[in-house]
Homo-oligomer: A and B are copies of this chain.
Amino acid sequence: MITLASDFGDPYPAAMTGVVARRTDARIVDVSHDLPRQDVRAGAFWLRFVLPEFPPAVHCAVVDPGVGTDRAALVVRAGGHALVGPDNGLLLPPARALAGETDEADAGGVADDGRAAADRGGDGDIEVFAVRVEDPASHTFHGRDVFAPVAADVHEVGVSALDRLPALSPASEFADLRFPDPAVRDDGARGEVLVVDGFGNVVTNLPGSVLTGVDTVRLAWDGNDDLPVAPSYAHVDPGQPLATVGSHGNVEFAVNRGRGDEALSLDPGDLVDLTW
C-alpha cells in the first residue's frame, strides 16, 4: 500500500497517483491533500495523528515550501513503514509515532527547526536515508517528479530492503521537528495551539491527562468564563464552549455545534494559559 498526503489541493495530486500507478500495482490511498498549506508543523501533526492507523505502508507526504531549492529528499524507515518526502522535518514526528514512540517523547523537546544528527537520542528506532535526485522534470512539483517515483521504488523493493535502492544512502543529518513542550503546574498549564480542524476545534499540545479530575478550566485573559471540561461536544448545550480531550489525546477547545476557534479567538501558534 502506498499512501499520498500533501497540501496540494486539486488537481495536482492526481498526477502523483498516475506516476505511482504507472510504476506499481500497489493499492494507493489518499490520506489528505488539504493539509494546512505550506505549514510543515501542522502537516507533521496530522500525519502523526493519521498514519499510525494504517497497516505497514509506504507513505509519500509532501508539504514543501522549499521545493526547487537544495533541500534534500528523504526516506525514513519506521516500524515496518517507510515515509518519503522533503527534508524539512515533516516526516519525523509521524515516523517516531510509527516506530512506537510515545507522544510524550515526541513533545519532549523544544521546537527545533535546526539540523539534527542522525544518531540523536530518541531516534533509535527510525532510520533516515537521503535520496540522490537526478535532474527532475520540474523545479516546482517534486511530488510528481521526485517523491512519487521514489515511493513507488521503495514499495517495489520492499520496506525491509529499501537500503538496496542505489539512490538511497544513510543521511548523516536532516531537519528535525518537535512539537513544543507544554508547562504543566498543579493548578494549571501553559501550552500552544497546534492546529485548528475543519470543525473549528482548537487542538493544543497539552496532554489530555492534565484534565483528569478537573471540572472547569479558565483561559487566562479577561472576560472569559470558566469552561466546563466534558467528555464530548454534546455534553454541553449547543453554542456553548467546552474543553475536552480530543481523539488525538490532546486538550482541545470546542463549541458544541459551533466553532471553538471563533468563539475563543484562538489560532495556530497562540499560547494558551490555563488554570483550574
**Which residues of A approach B to under 8 Å, CB–CB?**
1, 3, 5, 8-12, 14-15, 17-19, 21-22, 28-32, 34-35, 37-38, 46, 49-55, 65-69, 137-141, 144-145, 197-199, 231-235, 244-247, 252, 256-257
Contact = CB atoms under 8 A, between A and B. Distances in A.
Contact of A139 (B14, B199, B232): B232
Given A10-B34, A53-B22, A65 B15 contact: no
Given A68-B235, A199-B37, A50 B246 contact: no
A262 to B, nearest CB: 14
Interface centre among A17, A18, A141, A235 (most CB of B within 10 A): A18
Interface centre among A3, A5, A138 (most CB of B within 10 A): A138
Nearest to A35: B11
A111 to B, nearest CB: 19
Contacts of A68: 231-235
A52 to B, nearest CB: 8
Contacts of A22: 53-55
Given A3-B14, A18-B55, A67-B234, 4 more contacts: A8-B198, A68-B231, A137-B247, A140-B252
Contacts of A1: 21
Contact of A21 (B18, B54, B231): B54
A18 B81 CA distance: 13
A78 to B, nearest CB: 15
A147 to B, nearest CB: 13
**How many monomers of this protein are in the complex?**
3
A140 B246 contact: yes
6 contacts: A9-B197, A12-B247, A14-B50, A14-B53, A22-B55, A139-B231
A197 B37 CA distance: 13
A144 B11 contact: no
Contacts of A17: 29, 31, 53-54
Nearest to A141: B247
Nearest to A46: B11
Contacts of A141: 246-247
Nearest to A51: B18
Contacts of A67: 232-234
Contacts of A232: 67-69, 139-140
A138 B247 contact: yes
Interface centre among A22, A144, A234 (most CB of B within 10 A): A234
Contacts of A8: 198
